[in-house]
Amino acid sequence: MKIDRRLLYLVAVVLVAVTVFFPLGLPVSVSKLAVQTYDAIQDLPDNSVVFIAPMYDPGTAGELSPMLKAMLYQCMERKYRIILGNTGWTLGAGLAHTIITPIAQEFNYVYGTDYIELGSKPGGAIWLQSAKADLPGAAIVDYNNNSLGQYPLMQAVPRLTQEYVAAALVLDCGTPGAPEWLAQITQGTSIKLIIGEIQMTVPDQMTFVQSGQYAGMIAGSRGCAEYEQLVGRPGAGLKSQDTMSVITLMITLFIVLGNIGYLTRKK
């Protein structure tokens, strides 16, 4: 049975559109991993400095921006000081800026003291190496092109090492990404590496969670939906779950139909 693939596409688009307007509202259970991740962030010492790295761009923002949002809520509720910056993902800096600005206002975070935005720096793993030796020197200017020397938070964190930074929260979707952070910054140190991962590479990265090299992982849009519930701020992650249910049923149906056709033809 050969169906025109365009018919399959049409079915898919219609199904997605319908669920976007009329959600099913199925409950989302919370996994152990999500709790572990939440606790890893929650249990950092008071007044810690966390480095949050939005290592993504608009292509993957659909999944990672809601995670960043929930992470910021949790960190600001715990009153951690936040350094926001990435390397190698130019557009990630702009995306993160629009997310952190309203949340920082909500929590009365002072720029330069409670949080700072480094923007995006070129170089990937190479930049991380230099930040380990001299963070302000490697970053030079902040997101708004202001010199970093004037900010108390930067004076307090001269290097990206365990003496100054308690955790690195990396939103990861490719290279450079979490593996570079692991190899260059957190491997063999007390800095906790917690990642927000696109759903696709979850199995791949799971082995680093099992080995303890990552202290936690928000696993795809599902993980985000779980984490949002733990933080108590339901958002876009939770909202996307109904579409995921419908897509799952559809793909499963297509696989089954395709195979029925295949098996009957074989006989």
Partner 1 sequence: MHPHISTDLGLWCQAICTLAIYTYLYKDNPIYRVAENVFLGLATAYWFVFNFFNFIKPAVVEWIGKNGQYHYVLAIILGLLIFMRYVPSLSWIARYPMSFWVGYGTGYTLAFTPAVWLDQITASFVALNSLQNILIFVGILCTLVYFFFTLAKENPVVGGIAEVGKWYIMIALGSAFGNTVLYRWNLFLARANMLLFQWLGFAS
Partner 2 sequence: MRKEGPMILTVLSSLVVVFSQYFFLGQKWALMDPLNNWFLISMSIALALGFVNLTSIHVKYLQRKREGWFYSIILLVCMYGYLALGLIQTHNGLQFDWIYQNAYSPLGSTIFSLVAFFITSAAYRAFRVRTKEATILLVCAVFVMLGRAPIGDAMWGGWSAFVNKWVIGTMNVAGMRGINLGIAVGGFATALRIMLGLERAHIGGSGTQ
Partner 3 sequence: MMWLLAQEQAPTPTLGIFSTGSAIDFAFVLLLGVIIWIMVARARTGRKIPEIRKIAGLEAVDEAIGRATEMGRPVVFIPGINSVDNPQTLAAFGMVSHIARQCARYDTRFLALNNDPLPYAVIEEITRQAYLEEGRPDAFNPDDIRFLSAEQFAFTGAVIGIFERERPAANIMVGSFYAESMILAETGSFQGMIQIGGTANTHQLPFFVAACDYALIGEEIYAASAYLSKEPVMYGTVVGQDWMKIIIALLIVTGAVLATVSPDSTFLSDILGGY
Q: Which of 30, 49, 202, 230: binder of partner 1 (CB under 8 A)?
A: 202
Which residue do the tokens 């696993």 mark?
A: 219
Residue 169 φ/ψ region, left for φ over 0, alpha for ψ in the -120 to 50 degree band, beta for the rest? beta
**Can you read off the two tokens belonging to residue 62?**
């659909």
By CB under 8 A, residue 149 contacts partner 1: no
Q: Distance between alpha carbon 104 and the CA centroid of its chain, in Å? A: 18
Residues 141-180: x where in contact with partner 3 by CB under 8 A, - otherwise, as a string? ---------------------------------xx-----
CA atoms within 13 A on the CB side of 145: 0
Q: Which of 3, 14, 20, 110: binder of partner 1 (CB under 8 A)?
A: 20
Which of 31, 23, 33 shows the shortest CA–CA distance to 210?
33
By CB under 8 A, residue 140 contacts partner 3: no
By CB under 8 A, residue 32 contacts partner 2: yes
d(C-alpha 208, C-alpha 189), whole Å: 15
**8 Å CB contact between 194 and 142:** no
134 binding partner (options partner 2, partner 3, partner 1, none; Cβ < 5 to 8 Å by kind): partner 3
Segment contacting partner 3 by CB under 8 A, of 19-27, 73-81, 196-204, 214-222: 196-204
Interface contacts to partner 3, rule CB under 8 A: 5, 133-134, 137, 174-175, 188, 200-201, 203-204
